[in-house]
Amino acid sequence: MTGILLLICGAPQAGTLALKPSHPDSYTVRQGDTLWDISARFLASPWQWPRLWQANPQLANPHRIYPGDRLTLIWVNGEPRLVHEGTGQPGGVVRLSPRMRPESAVTTVPLAAIINYTRDYQLLSSAELASAPVLLGSRHGRDLLRQGELAYVAGRTKPGQLYGVYRHRGRLTDEHRREVYGHRAMLVGVVHAREQLEPRFASVQIRSLSREMRPGDVLLPLSAGQALAAFYQPAPGPDLGDGRVLAMGHEGAVAARHEVVLLNKGQQDGLRTGDLYGVYRPAPPGGTSIPLPPLAVARIMVFQTFEHASAALVLDSREPVQRHYQLGEPEYDEQGL
Q: Give the pLDDT of residue 328.
A: 94
Mean pLDDT confidence for 106-124: 77
Instruction: Give the tens place of pLDDT for each residue, 134-192.
Output: 999 887 777 778 888 899 999 999 999 999 999 999 999 887 778 889 999 999 999 99
When pLDDT is cut at 50, 70 and 90, the band that residue 91 belongs to is very low
Q: Give the pLDDT of residue 95.
A: 38
Q: Give the pLDDT of residue 170.
A: 92
How far apart (Å, rounded) are the C-alpha atoms in residues 261 and 246? 8
Is the CB of residue 280 less than 8 Å from the CB of residue 218?
A: no
HSE, side-chain direction, 13 A CA sphere, residue 336 = 19
Return the higher-pLDDT residue of 53 and 189: 189
pLDDT at 318 over 80: yes
Walk me through the domains of the chain, giving residue ranges and CATH numbers: 2-89+102-108 (no CATH), 121-226 (2.40.10), 232-328 (2.40.10)
For 22, 44, 203, the CA distances from 332, given in Å and listed in that order, are 12, 6, 54
How far apart (Å, rounded) are the C-alpha atoms in residues 203 and 155? 10
How far apart (Å, rounded) are the C-alpha atoms in residues 61 and 49? 17
pLDDT at 195 over 90: yes
Return the higher-pLDDT residue of 204 and 50: 204
pLDDT at 256 over 70: yes
pLDDT at 86 over 80: no
Q: Give the pLDDT of residue 108.
A: 66
Q: Give the pLDDT of residue 237.
A: 92
When pLDDT is cut at 50, 70 and 90, the band that residue 66 belongs to is confident
pLDDT at 216 over 90: yes
When pLDDT is cut at 50, 70 and 90, the band that residue 320 belongs to is very high
Mean pLDDT confidence for 252-271: 94
pTM given for the model: 0.73
Quote the radius of gyration of the chain (alpha carbons, Å): 24
Q: What are phi and psi of 283, to 5 degrees?
A: -65, 145
Lowest mean pLDDT among 52-56, 240-244, 305-309: 52-56
Q: Give the pLDDT of residue 332.
A: 58
Q: Give the pLDDT of residue 54.
A: 55
Q: Give the pLDDT of residue 175.
A: 76
In whole numbers, what is the pLDDT of the chain averaged over residues? 79
Q: Give the pLDDT of residue 7.
A: 39
When pLDDT is cut at 50, 70 and 90, the band that residue 40 belongs to is confident
Contact residues for 315 (Cβ-Cβ < 8 A; gap 6+)? 36, 109, 257, 258, 276, 298, 299, 300, 301
